[in-house]
């Protein structure tokens, strides 16, 4: 795996959803490679345990609360004027439709709006670090995702699978638009499908996917979280334009274009603006 040239001092990687599964696996690999890792998770005990294991910094934030995201971004900006990697890995498959205190459907907020807000609020450190921004998306984007900007919350026809697919489709679109907006400033963005892995993804979900994730035989038919963590770390530490294509969605290490909506540039712009409205971005933060 190609590596970037070492920077003066430790390089900083912020990994969300790092208290278990793919994020924890990636945090371990990055720390072993000499990175300063900020371990972001919702569960305080697990987050602190992983941070202690990798010698990183624990940060607790619940993405179902946008105020948590704003506070997290503020702390990160104060401590890290340069961030070389932001891994937007936190997310999940949820159950029946629920609305957060911010007024958004939970899946949409946790999987898309919260990482969108975090990325926007960290623009300064990301540009300073010529960062790579990695989004953990999913093949569910093409299996279940059909975005309707007039009904992002899926109020008219909600299912756990569609809400998840839509949120992962939104991540791919946001990756493309982030690349268009910040690519000229040296930021590189990429989205990827980590594979079908035996993680905690569907806990508390009514999704049809929960059957596979909860079977006692899942370890025989699913990959290990370490495989997804290795791919996240590969993208995070690789050279954009050499090891992977910026602005693209990758599966098994290859750029994939098999969902027409995911590569609709007009939709990407419209979703960006709609998302900025949803999370209350204004002025320069909308960039």
Phi-psi category of residue 119: left, alpha or beta, with phi > 0 → left and psi -120 to 50 → alpha: alpha
Tracing tokens 């990055």 back to the chain, one arrives at: 30
Q: List the catalytic residue out of 144, 164, 213, 249.
A: 164
Closest CA to 190 of 258, 226, 122, 238: 238
Does 164 participate in catalysis according to the annotation?
yes
SS (H, E, C) the chain: CCCCCCCCCCCEEEEECCCCHHHHHHHHHHHHCCCEEEEEECCHHHHHHHHHHHCCEEEECCCCCHHHHHHHHHHHHHHCCCCCEEEECCCCCCCCCCECCCCCEHHHHHHHHHHHHHHHHCHHHHHHCCCEEEEECCCHHHHHCCCCHHHCCCCCCCCHHHHHHHHHHHHHHHHHHHHHHHHHHCCEEEEEECCCECCCCCCCCCCCCHHHHHCCCHHHHCECHHHHHHHHHHHHHCCECCCECCCCEEECCEECCCCHHHHCHHHHHHHHHHHHHHHCCCHHHHC
Residues with a catalytic annotation lie at 164
């Amino acid at each position: 795996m190609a590596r970037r040239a070492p920077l003066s001092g430790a390089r900083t990687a912020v990994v969300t959803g790092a208290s278990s599964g793919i994020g924890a696996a990636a945090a371990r690999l990055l720390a072993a490679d000499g990175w300063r890792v900020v371990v972001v998770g919702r569960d305080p005990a697990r987050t602190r345990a992983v941070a202690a294991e990798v010698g990183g910094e624990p940060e607790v934030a619940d993405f179902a609360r946008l105020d948590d995201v704003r506070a997290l971004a503020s702390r990160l900006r104060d401590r890290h004027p340069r961030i070389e990697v932001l891994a937007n890995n936190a997310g999940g498959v949820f159950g029946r439709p629920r609305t957060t205190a911010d007024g958004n459907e939970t899946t949409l907020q946790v999987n898309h709006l919260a990482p969108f807000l975090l990325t926007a609020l960290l623009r300064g450190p990301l540009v300073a670090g010529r960062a790579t921004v990695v989004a953990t998306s999913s093949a569910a984007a093409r299996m279940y995702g059909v975005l309707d900007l007039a009904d992002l919350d899926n109020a008219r026809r909600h299912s756990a699978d569609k809400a998840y697919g839509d949120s992962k489709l939104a991540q791919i679109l946001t990756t493309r638009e982030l690349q268009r907006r910040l690519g000229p400033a040296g930021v590189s963005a990429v989205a990827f499908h980590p594979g079908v892995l035996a993680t905690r993804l569907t806990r508390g979900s009514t999704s049809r996917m929960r059957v596979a994730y909860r079977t006692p035989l899942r370890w025989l038919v699913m990959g290990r979280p370490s495989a997804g963590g290795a791919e996240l770390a590969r993208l995070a530490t690789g050279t954009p334009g050499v090891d992977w294509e910026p602005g693209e969605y990758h599966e098994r290490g290859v750029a994939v274009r098999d969902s027409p909506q995911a590569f609709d540039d007009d939709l990407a712009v419209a979703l960006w603006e709609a998302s900025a409205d949803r999370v209350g971005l204004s002025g320069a933060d909308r960039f």
